[in-house]
């Protein structure tokens, strides 16, 4: 048996095996057969030598054909492969009589037909050329630059550079290129053997000479037959004959029909293939001119040209279009700046869409457009105008939308921020940071539509920056830190908070929390309280995106921002700028809330890194003012971070002082002069200023007292050098002044703390305190020596006001000295060593030598004149509206504060007047005889004008205003406190008592969280003081009685309400003012804990203060409708739970007296202080007073309640008030007034007993201008109450015309009116008012001449017919003859004696029509 060859066999082994195979005579596995070459047009036949000989005789060469046997007869299964779909199957032309199986047999051959035709390439006609003989040892190396001209286009299409170079070399040597030798051999054939040009069947591109533009033919290769080429020629001639017989219009129509039948993609494909061949054929024809034409072929060519004249024009036109497209692809555009050369690599085929960027940019638009355009920014964050033409070297033009416009849009910046290129990420983040910084300043308010910051946050900026913080490239990470700092931190906000630190209560601040938004949780509705989710569980269930949308800082904390910032500081150790940005970010997070500050403290190794790296105990002098690294150097921003953390609470402050070593670092920084700290001078001043502020915060808790004893010499030395610092003005003077202000703030807090030592030491703790803190280490004896020195400083500064060079400095420092003296004398009066006589003499000297000269100085007087213009309350400050703020990231809106008037302006009178007011309040409390000396302040025209403006102002509440409103509230309160002391003793001041009372009433609902003590003081002293209600003892009630008397004379028929005059009620209310005050203070007892906390803070009881962070800014301390509070509280206790069914005896003890006092106070305010209640909507007043009827079944029937409620009802329904009463507006706290009115209707039906007062309350919302829903409720669901609603027109103080005009247009309500009248439900003896109302509207409806819908017209006719046939003559006459309401008439209206002609005619037409229709029916 023959073996198979092995890879290890040698050539001898293979020859030996071949010999054995031949000797064995075995049959070979493959036979060599000869198959016809259909590409040459050979006839098919048998195999073997006959075919070979036949072909050889025809000049062809024999070729070996390998036939593979043992192939399977069946087609292999193709189930695993997906079926293939033909692109052209749908457009393929088929015939109805064609057999599908036959077509399949023709085209889908067996696999053996494919694999059996392995044909060897015919190389018999290919010439073999030997390499050229040269004298060089090696062939010369070719360079692409040497090939300056492209050779003839090859038949094979694109050739490599090397092949083109070889072809060019052969042409130079006079040889034929290889790819053209076959063409030349074909040209050598006899002319008669070649088909004419227009009948060429060669579709190969190797012979461009055969391409013509007039027509195209297929080769006929697919036709199976002996004369396939002749058949194709016959078909071609037949087509030519048909074309000659057709006109040009017929040819175009046939062409359109064919194009419509073919697939559009197939047509485009053929045209593109033709477009590729057109240029090569044209070039070939120019390079290869035809030889001599034979005479016999000329007629054929001419005939072809003539016959194709019509179609050739169309084809030529289309080929021209294709040629132009081809030229755009193959030749550079003339507008390109650079013309590609042929020798450039890979530039033989140009791509115009990529070369478009080499063109010159189109010019930007020269005129504006009303259409909004996408904003584009430069790298500094400046908006680029669409008409601005910037040079391209700035790098602001790019391959994006609107290439002619310079700059980047926000969308493109977001895209670049996620680029893989480091520089692009850094550049995008830096640009976003600049955009955010400018957005905070409001630079885009007039340029862009909408909020930039809100748009960026909605687009996911927070997550983009958080992901960028995790970038491994330090540059990208630094840019992300800077962008995050630009988003969260506003430098001017921090600067303003630092400037107000030395003001009264300036170290306290509101948390930067977003305004609380009530979330409606539908999932918890109807569940038991134990099953409802807690607030913490709801917070944990929220996604990061939801949390970030509500609160940006909380969202960042949830995304683990603090550990990443710690990693940056601890491991990355970035540049100084990044370090400062990180510390400012931590400061802003600490300002967010006490919980956020606690998270900063609890972050592992974060504060330890800050303390060790940026607050070291020792350091070396930096080598330059701007060192490359700040690690190992103390930083002022690090001290500020610790100060803000300490503000969050006393426990956090103690933790910083004791656990983190802040006490030692304060001692290190403050024991030496700033010039001795081995730091740059400005940084040394900043860091000592922040150290003093941090110490002042700690002293505000009664902590760090040992440090005061240890550093007392250094503090005294700093005070002694104060005049030297102030005398030398320079660039460092502002920083030095801030340092002095911080030092004086520290001494003020230490004085307050020392004043509490004796009380704590002796255990004199008031009963309301739960625990007694330990006494501080510093006592009163440690601080008494400071007062003489500081008082002498104050005197010198007052005298220096005459010096223009030192005036600004003196005005800056005087307020802080006044605050210190207030703390000193306030705490002195509480000490056992207090000597009244000596203190009174000292205070008299202080007033005569310091305070009065200060008040009368022209500089101070000029500042007081600016009081109103610098007020936040009196000025809306419309400039603040341009600042870009978002609810989830509250700010203080301080950008641009230097350029606008306000509390922080350099010449603002508020710091000085606040300090002066505090000191005056304290010393006049000790020495009451000094009060009259300062009456000039209250009587000055600027102060009176300012208070008048405050009494009419309605300031809005937000984070941007609250931090300044708090300071202005202090000043207004102090002015009222001074007035409280002067009104009883100074007649001139008493003349303005009503103004002061009005201001007190307005200020009370303005007071913010943290000012509860001020609210209690106002309620206890001024609000209910008879001295400030001057009308009560100056003929006020008598004047009201005279007005009532005049009103009665004008309306003699007026009855019940006017019998008890409002003047008498007012006189009784003024007598009860002390009881009224006790009533309201009792109902505000729930604020007692807040009042105690606020009192400790305002009076300087530092050891009891738990936090300098004020309560969350959720709203004012008291609601604006606080005068209604007792009534609303009683309703919430009894009316809601018991449905208003309790009798007066069943109400809580004293409920009747509480309601009476509340109504008395409301009556006083409505008559004499109407302006104070203007913040309460009239509908809110009506809703609150409705609680009188809803909280009990018979409380409104009590005589004092009835009289007072009648008086209030008459005041609310005056002509001037009725127009402003809009019941369509939902009252605060209610979904709609209709819900409240439904409860009132149910209560009236249940317990009213026809009470006239309750009836007036029910009738008030039934006026025509209000919603018809309430009238439908009365005449529909509660129609039974019409029998007891006996209010007469005289008792109702509302004009009846408000109920009857304009005519009713609600058809369901009109039908109810008519039904109640016809059925007898509504009678004039039961319900006079609504009887007149129903008559008026029904009468106007039935006799209306206005065009209406068919349903309405049918209802009119129906009502009119029913009225005409009524058996009740009285009602019939009332409905038909009603004219107008008449108050003095017995029935409340007057009637016609007979119907007017127009109405009579209408009645006759309707009734006559009915009669005629009835007759027709009969």
Is 752:827 a contact under the CB 8 Å cutoff?
yes
**Residue 837 CA from chain centroid, whole number:** 63
Looking at residues 1174-1188, what average pLDDT do you find?
93
Number of H helices, E strands in the chain: 67, 5
Other residues' Cβ atoms within 10 Å of the Cβ of residue 628: 10
Mean pLDDT highest for which of 246-255, 1058-1067, 1132-1141, 1172-1181? 1172-1181
Higher per-residue confidence, 57 vs 439: 439
- Dihedral of CA atoms 1066, 1072, 1074, 1080 in degrees, nearest 10, equals -80
Looking at residues 947-967, what average pLDDT do you find?
89
Q: Tens digit of pLDDT for each residue in 411-435?
A: 999 999 999 999 999 999 999 999 9
Looking at residues 1269-1291, what average pLDDT do you find?
92
Is 930:843 a contact under the CB 8 Å cutoff?
yes
- At residue 529 the predicted structure's pLDDT band, cuts being 50, 70 and 90, is low
- At residue 207 the predicted structure's pLDDT band, cuts being 50, 70 and 90, is very low
Residues, the chain: 1418
Residue 1329 above 50 pLDDT?
yes
pLDDT value of residue 12: 86
- At residue 504 the predicted structure's pLDDT band, cuts being 50, 70 and 90, is very high
What gap in Å lies between CA 301 and CA 303, rounded to an integer? 5
Residue 165 above 80 pLDDT?
no
Q: Tens digit of pLDDT for each residue in 108-127?
A: 555 555 555 566 777 777 77
Looking at residues 604-618, what average pLDDT do you find?
95
pLDDT value of residue 1097: 96
Tell me which residue has tokens 């930083």.
635
Residue 1352, classified by CB atoms within 10 Å of its CB into exposed (0-12), middle (13-18) or buried (19+), is middle
pLDDT cut 70: percent of the chain above it: 76
Looking at residues 514-542, what average pLDDT do you find?
64
Mean pLDDT highest for which of 89-103, 477-491, 1038-1052? 477-491
CA-wise closest residue to 1161 among 1022, 1068, 1063, 1037: 1068
pLDDT value of residue 587: 97
Residue-by-residue DSSP string for 71-130:
--SSPPP-TTSPPP--SSTTT----TT--HHHHHHHHS--HHHHHT-EEPP--TTS---P
Residue 1093 above 90 pLDDT?
yes
pLDDT value of residue 956: 82
Other residues' Cβ atoms within 10 Å of the Cβ of residue 318: 13
Q: Provide the token pair at 141.
A: 């190396």
- At residue 1161 the predicted structure's pLDDT band, cuts being 50, 70 and 90, is very high
pLDDT value of residue 531: 58
Query: Which region, left, alpha or beta, applies to residue 505 given φ > 0 means left and ψ of -120 to 50 means alpha?
Result: left
Residue 1060 above 90 pLDDT?
no
Q: Tens digit of pLDDT for each residue in 179-206?
A: 544 444 444 444 434 444 333 333 333 3
Looking at residues 1220-1248, what average pLDDT do you find?
91
Q: Tens digit of pLDDT for each residue in 721-777?
A: 888 887 776 788 999 999 999 999 999 999 999 999 998 888 755 544 556 788 999
Least confident of 45-59, 444-458, 721-735, 1275-1289: 45-59
Task: Kindly give the pairing relationship between strand 1378-1381 and strand 1389-1391.
Answer: antiparallel
How far are the Cα atoms of 503, 673, 735, 793 from residue 498, in angstroms, in the given order?
A: 10, 22, 12, 23
What gap in Å lies between CA 46 and CA 399, rounded to an integer? 67
Q: Tens digit of pLDDT for each residue in 964-993?
A: 999 999 999 999 999 999 999 999 999 999
pLDDT value of residue 94: 61
**In this structure, which long-range contacts are made by residues 764-773, counting pairs with CB atoms below 8 Å and at least 24 apart in sequence?**
768/1088, 768/1092, 769/1104, 773/702, 773/1103, 773/1104
What gap in Å lies between CA 872 and CA 972, rounded to an integer? 12
Other residues' Cβ atoms within 10 Å of the Cβ of residue 1054: 15
CA-wise closest residue to 668 among 716, 630, 619: 619
**Packing angle of the helix pair 910-926, 858-865 (nearest 10 deg):** 110
- At residue 1046 the predicted structure's pLDDT band, cuts being 50, 70 and 90, is low
CA-wise closest residue to 1079 among 1025, 1153, 1002: 1153
DSSP state of 728: S
pLDDT value of residue 558: 94
Residue-by-residue DSSP string for 1197-1236:
GSHHHHHHHHHHHHHHTSHHHHTT--TTSPPTTSS-HHHH
Residue 578 above 60 pLDDT?
yes
Higher per-residue confidence, 851 vs 730: 851
Mean pLDDT highest for which of 1007-1021, 1140-1154, 1383-1397? 1007-1021
Q: Tens digit of pLDDT for each residue in 921-933?
A: 999 999 999 999 9
Secondary structure class of 991 (helix, strand, coil): coil
Tell me which residue has tokens 């439908």.
1272
Is 1019:1028 a contact under the CB 8 Å cutoff?
no
Q: Tens digit of pLDDT for each residue in 637-650?
A: 999 999 999 999 99
Secondary structure class of 22 (helix, strand, coil): helix
**Helix locations, 208-338, DSSP H:** 228-245, 248-261, 264-287, 298-307, 309-330
**Residue 1168 CA from chain centroid, whole number:** 45
How far are the Cα atoms of 218, 1188, 1246 from residue 1146, in angstroms, in the given order?
A: 112, 15, 17
CA-wise closest residue to 698 among 737, 661, 663: 663
pLDDT value of residue 65: 53
Residue 525 above 60 pLDDT?
no
Task: Kindly tell me the sign of the dihedral angle through the C-alpha atoms of 201, 204, 207, 213.
Answer: positive
pLDDT value of residue 995: 96
**Residue 578 CA from chain centroid, whole number:** 28
Half-sphere exposure of 615 (CA within 13 A, CB side): 28
pLDDT value of residue 366: 56
CA-wise closest residue to 1322 among 1380, 1382, 1262: 1262
Looking at residues 1071-1081, what average pLDDT do you find?
95
Residue 1052 above 70 pLDDT?
no
What gap in Å lies between CA 544 and CA 547, rounded to an integer? 5
pLDDT value of residue 288: 42
Residue 849 above 70 pLDDT?
yes
Higher per-residue confidence, 697 vs 161: 697
Looking at residues 1292-1296, what average pLDDT do you find?
88
Is 532:524 a contact under the CB 8 Å cutoff?
yes
pLDDT value of residue 663: 96
Helix (H) or strand (E) holding 226: none
Average pLDDT, the chain: 81
pLDDT value of residue 538: 79
> At residue 872, what are phi and psi to the nearest 5 degrees?
-80, -35
**Packing angle of the helix pair 786-799, 733-755 (nearest 10 deg):** 140
Helix (H) or strand (E) holding 1312: helix 1307-1318
Residue 1308 above 60 pLDDT?
yes
Other residues' Cβ atoms within 10 Å of the Cβ of residue 583: 22
What gap in Å lies between CA 1338 and CA 1336, rounded to an integer? 6
Least confident of 284-288, 312-316, 701-705, 1038-1042: 312-316
Least confident of 279-283, 745-749, 902-906: 279-283
What gap in Å lies between CA 1229 and CA 1251, rounded to an integer? 28
DSSP state of 675: G
pLDDT value of residue 943: 96
Is 594:1108 a contact under the CB 8 Å cutoff?
no
Helix (H) or strand (E) holding 1257: helix 1252-1259
pLDDT value of residue 880: 55
Tell me which residue has tokens 């687009």.
459
Q: Tens digit of pLDDT for each residue in 302-358?
A: 333 333 333 333 323 233 333 333 333 334 444 555 666 777 777 666 676 666 666
pLDDT value of residue 1346: 84
Residue 293 above 80 pLDDT?
no
Is 335:360 a contact under the CB 8 Å cutoff?
yes
Is 656:703 a contact under the CB 8 Å cutoff?
no
**pTM across the whole model:** 0.75
């Amino acid at each position: 048996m023959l073996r198979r060859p092995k890879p290890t066999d040698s050539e001898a082994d293979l020859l030996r095996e071949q010999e054995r195979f031949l000797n064995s005579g075995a049959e070979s596995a493959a036979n060599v057969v000869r198959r016809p070459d259909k590409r040459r047009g050979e006839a098919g036949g048998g195999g073997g030598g006959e075919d070979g000989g036949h072909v050889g005789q025809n000049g062809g060469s024999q070729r070996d054909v390998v036939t593979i046997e043992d192939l399977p007869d069946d087609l292999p299964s193709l189930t695993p492969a997906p079926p293939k779909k033909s692109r052209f199957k749908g457009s393929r032309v088929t015939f109805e009589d064609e057999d599908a199986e036959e077509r399949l047999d023709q085209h889908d051959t067996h696999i053996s037909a494919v694999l059996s035709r392995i044909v060897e390439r015919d190389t018999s006609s290919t010439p073999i050329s030997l390499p050229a003989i040269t004298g060089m040892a090696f062939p010369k190396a070719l360079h692409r630059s040497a090939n300056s001209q492209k050779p003839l286009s090859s038949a094979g299409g694109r050739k490599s550079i090397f092949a083109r170079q070889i072809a060019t070399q052969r042409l130079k040597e006079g040889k034929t290129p290889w790819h053209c030798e076959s063409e030349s051999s074909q040209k050598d054939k006899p002319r008669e053997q070649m088909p004419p040009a227009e009948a060429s069947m060669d579709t190969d591109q190797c012979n461009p000479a055969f391409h013509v533009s007039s027509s195209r033919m297929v080769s006929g290769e697919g036709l199976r037959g002996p004369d396939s080429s002749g058949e194709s020629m016959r078909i071609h001639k037949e087509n030519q004959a048909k074309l000659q017989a057709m006109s040009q219009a017929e040819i175009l129509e046939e062409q359109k029909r064919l194009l419509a039948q073919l697939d559009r993609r197939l047509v485009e494909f053929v045209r593109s293939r033709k477009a590729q061949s057109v240029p090569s054929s044209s070039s070939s024809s120019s390079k290869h001119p035809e030889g001599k034409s034979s005479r016999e072929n000329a007629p054929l060519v001419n005939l072809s040209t003539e016959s194709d004249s019509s179609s050739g024009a169309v084809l030529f036109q289309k080929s021209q279009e294709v040629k132009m497209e081809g030229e755009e692809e193959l030749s550079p555009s003339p507008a390109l700046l650079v013309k590609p050369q042929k020798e450039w690599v890979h530039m033989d085929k140009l791509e115009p869409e990529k070369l478009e960027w080499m063109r010159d940019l189109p010019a930007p638009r020269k005129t504006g457009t009303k259409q909004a355009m996408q904003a584009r920014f430069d790298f500094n964050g400046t908006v680029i105008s669409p008409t601005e033409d910037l040079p391209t070297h700035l790098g602001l033009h790019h391959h994006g939308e609107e290439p002619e416009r310079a700059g980047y849009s926000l969308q493109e910046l977001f895209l670049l921020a996620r680029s893989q290129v480091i520089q692009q990420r850094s550049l995008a983040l830096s640009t976003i940071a600049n955009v955010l910084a400018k957005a905070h300043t409001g630079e885009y308010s007039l340029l862009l539509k909408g909020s930039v910051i809100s748009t960026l946050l909605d687009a996911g900026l927070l997550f983009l920056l958080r992901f960028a913080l995790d970038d491994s490239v330090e540059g990208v990470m630094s840019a992300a830190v800077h962008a995050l700092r630009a988003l969260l931190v506003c430098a001017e906000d921090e600067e303003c908070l630092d400037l107000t630190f030395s003001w009264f209560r300036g170290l306290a601040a509101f948390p930067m929390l977003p305004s609380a938004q009530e979330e409606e949780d539908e999932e918890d509705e109807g569940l038991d309280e134990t099953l409802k989710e807690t607030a913490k569980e709801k917070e944990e269930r929220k996604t990061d995106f939801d949390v970030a949308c509500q609160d940006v800082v909380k969202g960042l904390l949830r995304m683990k921002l603090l550990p990443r910032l710690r990693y940056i500081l601890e491991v990355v150790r970035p540049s100084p700028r990044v370090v400062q940005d990180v510390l400012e970010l931590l400061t802003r997070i600490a300002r967010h809330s006490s919980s956020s500050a606690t998270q900063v403290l609890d972050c592992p190794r974060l504060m330890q890194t800050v303390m060790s790296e940026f607050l070291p105990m020792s350091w070396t002098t930096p080598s330059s003012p701007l060192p490359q690294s700040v690690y190992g150097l103390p930083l002022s921003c690090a001290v500020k971070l610790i100060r803000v953390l300490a503000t969050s609470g006393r426990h956090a402050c103690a933790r910083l002082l004791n656990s983190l070593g802040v006490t030692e670092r304060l001692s290190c920084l403050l024991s030496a002069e700033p010039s001795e700290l081995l730091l740059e001078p400005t940084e040394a001043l900043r860091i000592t200023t922040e150290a003093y502020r941090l110490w002042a915060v700690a002293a505000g808790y009664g902590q760090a007292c040992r440090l005061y004893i240890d550093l007392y010499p250094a503090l005294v030395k700093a005070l002694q050098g104060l005049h030297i610092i102030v005398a030398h003005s320079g660039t460092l003077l502002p920083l030095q002044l801030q340092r002095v202000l911080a030092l004086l703030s520290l001494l003020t807090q230490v004085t307050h703390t020392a004043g509490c030592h004796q009380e704590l030491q002796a255990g004199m703790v008031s009963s309301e305190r739960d625990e007694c803190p330990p006494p501080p280490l510093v006592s009163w004896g440690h601080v008494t020596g400071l007062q003489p020195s500081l008082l002498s400083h104050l005197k010198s500064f007052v005298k220096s006001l005459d010096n223009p060079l030192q005036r600004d400095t003196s005005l800056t420092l005087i307020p802080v000295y006044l605050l210190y003296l207030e703390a000193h004398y306030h705490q002195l009066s509480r000490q056992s060593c207090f000597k009244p006589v000596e203190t009174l003499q000292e205070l008299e000297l202080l007033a005569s030598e310091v305070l009065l000269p200060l008040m009368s100085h022209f500089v101070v007087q000029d500042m007081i004149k600016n009081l109103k213009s610098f007020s936040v309350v009196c000025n809306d400050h419309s400039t603040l509206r341009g600042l870009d703020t978002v609810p989830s990231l509250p700010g203080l809106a301080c950008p641009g504060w230097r350029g606008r008037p306000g509390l922080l302006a350099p010449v603002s009178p508020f710091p000085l007047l606040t300090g002066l007011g505090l000191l005056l309040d304290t010393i006049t409390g000790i020495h009451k005889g000094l009060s009259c000396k300062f009456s000039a302040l209250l009587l000055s025209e600027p102060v009176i004008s300012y208070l008048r403006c405050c009494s009419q102002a309605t300031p809005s509440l937000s984070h941007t205003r609250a931090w300044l409103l708090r300071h202005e509230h202090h000043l207004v309160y102090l002015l009222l406190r001074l007035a409280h002391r002067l009104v009883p003793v100074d007649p001139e001041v008493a003349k303005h008592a009503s103004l002061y009372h009005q201001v007190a009433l307005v200020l009370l609902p303005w007071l913010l969280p943290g000012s509860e003590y001020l609210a209690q003081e106002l309620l206890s002293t001024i609000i209910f003081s008879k001295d400030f209600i001057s009308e009560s003892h100056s003929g006020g009630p008598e004047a009201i009685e005279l007005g009532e008397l005049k009103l009665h004379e004008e309306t003699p028929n007026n009855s019940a309400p006017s019998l008890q005059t409002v003047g008498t009620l007012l006189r009784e209310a003024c007598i009860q003012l002390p009881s009224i005050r006790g009533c309201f203070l009792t109902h505000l007892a729930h604020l007692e804990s807040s009042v105690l906390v606020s009192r400790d803070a305002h009076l300087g009881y530092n050891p009891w203060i738990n936090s300098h962070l004020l309560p969350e800014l959720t709203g004012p301390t008291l609601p604006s409708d606080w005068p209604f509070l007792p009534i609303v509280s009683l309703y919430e206790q009894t009316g809601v739970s018991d449905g208003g069914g309790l009798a007066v005896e069943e109400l809580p003890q004293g409920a009747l007296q509480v309601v009476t006092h509340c109504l008395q106070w409301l009556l006083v305010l409505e008559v004499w202080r109407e302006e104070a209640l203007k913040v309460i909507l009239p509908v809110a007043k009506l809703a609150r007073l409705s609680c009188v009827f809803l909280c009990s079944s018979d409380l409104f029937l009590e005589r004092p309640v009835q009289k007072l409620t009648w008086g209030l009802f008459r005041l609310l329904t005056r002509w001037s008030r009725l127009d402003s009463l809009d019941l369509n507006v939902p009252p605060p706290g209610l979904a709609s007034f209709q819900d409240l009115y439904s409860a009132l209707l149910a209560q009236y039906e249940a317990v009213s007993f026809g009470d006239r007062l309750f009836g007036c309350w029910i009738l008030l919302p039934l006026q025509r201008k209000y919603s018809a829903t309430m009238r439908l409720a009365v005449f529909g669901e509660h129609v039974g109450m019409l029998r007891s609603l006996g209010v007469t027109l005289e008792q109702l103080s509302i004009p009846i015309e408000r109920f009857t005009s304009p005519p009713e247009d609600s058809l369901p309500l009109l039908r109810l009116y008519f039904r109640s009248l016809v059925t007898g439900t509504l009678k004039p003896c039961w319900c006079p008012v609504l009887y007149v109302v129903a008559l008026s509207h029904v009468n106007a409806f039935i006799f209306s001449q206005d065009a209406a819908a068919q349903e309405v017209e049918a209802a009119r006719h129906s009502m009119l017919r029913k009225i005409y046939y009524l058996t009740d003559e009285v009602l019939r006459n009332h409905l038909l003859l009603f004219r107008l309401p008449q108050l003095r008439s017995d029935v409340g209206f007057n009637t016609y004696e007979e119907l007017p002609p127009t109405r009579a005619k209408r009645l006759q037409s309707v009734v006559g029509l009915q009669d005629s229709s009835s007759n027709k029916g009969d």
